[in-house]
Amino acid sequence: MATTRRNRSHRTLRLGGAAALLVLASGAYADPDSESIYPEQSVTRTQADLEGRVTAEDQPFAYVVDASTASQGVVAVGYDLGLGSGISAIRPIPVVLQNEGIANGFTLSYGATNWLEPTVNLIVTSNLSNNTSSVDGIAGLKVQLTSPDSPWRAAVMGGGLREGLSQAFGTWVRGIGSFGTGPLLVEANVYVEHVFQAGRDGADFMATLGADYRVLPFMRVGAEWVGQDLEETFDPGDEGGSRMGLGPNVAFDLDRGRYQIVVTGLFGLNAISPTAMVRAGLLGSF
């Protein structure tokens, strides 16, 4: 009988402890003024974000795509401006060489669910040397594969594209992975593209890597690396070899993360890479 009473007491304590933890957790989760539990962020989130979702879409880097998606019913609108020295600033280090160029990117995304996001992107590129321009269209889906409050996160994207210069269509897929602990965030992307045009590579490979550190509640600083045409790193082909760039990054969260600004500068790491590139982006969630 004594053993039975002790077992009942232990079960009662365990149930009571679990109930207390649930009460505390629900209180913190329902408080719209509490800090986000997302490891990479110390900004507060709106009530819409707290309902089954820790964070809306984030943009801590200019070239590296984050694993997050817009919360259900949230529209994310983005604009980015790219400037290249000796080369166009598109995709992000271009295959088609130009004397100099400006790229304007417009992005519209929608949170169909808390983990599924359709997105459309238009890139208007201007060649200042001959006063011409082209428009690239990109459309796809982004799927968040992990919990947004996990330190390890992953997402996958895929879709189609149309090149403005060649008038060719293509398909693409992007894999996204990240790790965040406290103020430190490290993210990587792998991008594969195939264009349906005679004479083009069977597949073009690009990789991006970024790391930054939150120095203030609203500010992160770090660096990004970009590698394009990596399939030609050791065996240059039609593209003339791979192009790589590395440079500093700074990102700002405004209005508790509703608006985000990021600026990254890249410097070419090999002879055929652009001498310098700058990309600045603005993302708003509504």
Residue-wise pLDDT for 120-131, tens only, equals: 999 988 776 667
10 Å CB burial of residue 67 (0-12, 13-18, 19+) is buried
Say whether both 262 and 188 belong to one domain: yes
Is the pTM of the predicted complex or chain greater than 0.75? yes
Number of folded domains in the chain?
A: 2
- Length of the chain equals 286
- Taking the C-alpha atoms of residue 14 and residue 126, their distance in angstroms, rounded to an integer, is 66
Say whether both 8 and 139 belong to one domain: no
For 174-205, write each residue's pLDDT tens digit. Answer: 999 999 999 999 999 999 999 898 877 788 89
Residue 98, domain extent: 39-285
Highest mean pLDDT among 118-127, 151-160, 257-266, 274-283: 151-160
For 9-32, write each residue's pLDDT tens digit. Answer: 444 444 444 444 333 333 333 343
Mean pLDDT across 278-285: 92
Say whether both 190 and 54 belong to one domain: yes
Lowest mean pLDDT among 61-70, 158-167, 170-179: 158-167
> What was the pLDDT predicted at 26?
38
- Confidence bin at 238 (pLDDT 50/70/90): low
**More confident position, 93 or 256:** 256
Which residue from 168, 138, 140 is spatially nearest to 156, judged by alpha carbons?
A: 140
**More confident position, 207 or 148:** 207
**CATH number of the domain residue 55 falls in:** 2.40.160.40
Say whether both 188 and 266 belong to one domain: yes
Say whether both 25 and 65 belong to one domain: no
pLDDT value at 107 more than 90: yes
- Taking the C-alpha atoms of residue 199 and residue 167, their distance in angstroms, rounded to an integer, is 14
- Taking the C-alpha atoms of residue 47 and residue 207, their distance in angstroms, rounded to an integer, is 35
Say whether both 21 and 58 belong to one domain: no
Specify the DSSP class assigned to residue 232: G
- Measuring CA to CA, how many Å separate 245 from each of 139, 239, 265, 274? 26, 16, 9, 8
Say whether both 150 and 255 belong to one domain: yes
State the SS3 of 197-222.
CCCCCCCEEEEEEEEEEEEECCEEEE
Say whether both 233 and 103 belong to one domain: yes
- Taking the C-alpha atoms of residue 69 and residue 142, their distance in angstroms, rounded to an integer, is 7
> What was the pLDDT predicted at 87?
59
**More confident position, 187 or 136:** 187
Strands (DSSP E) along the chain, which ranges? 75-85, 100-110, 116-127, 132-144, 152-162, 169-181, 184-195, 204-216, 219-228, 243-254, 259-268, 276-285
Say whether both 93 and 155 belong to one domain: yes
Q: Is there a contact between 261 and 280 (Cβ–Cβ < 8 Å)?
A: yes
> What was the pLDDT predicted at 134?
83
Single-letter amino acid, residue 87:
I
Say whether both 1 and 51 belong to one domain: no
Say whether both 25 and 148 belong to one domain: no
Say whether both 26 and 166 belong to one domain: no
**More confident position, 123 or 98:** 123
- Taking the C-alpha atoms of residue 54 and residue 157, their distance in angstroms, rounded to an integer, is 20
- Confidence bin at 6 (pLDDT 50/70/90): very low
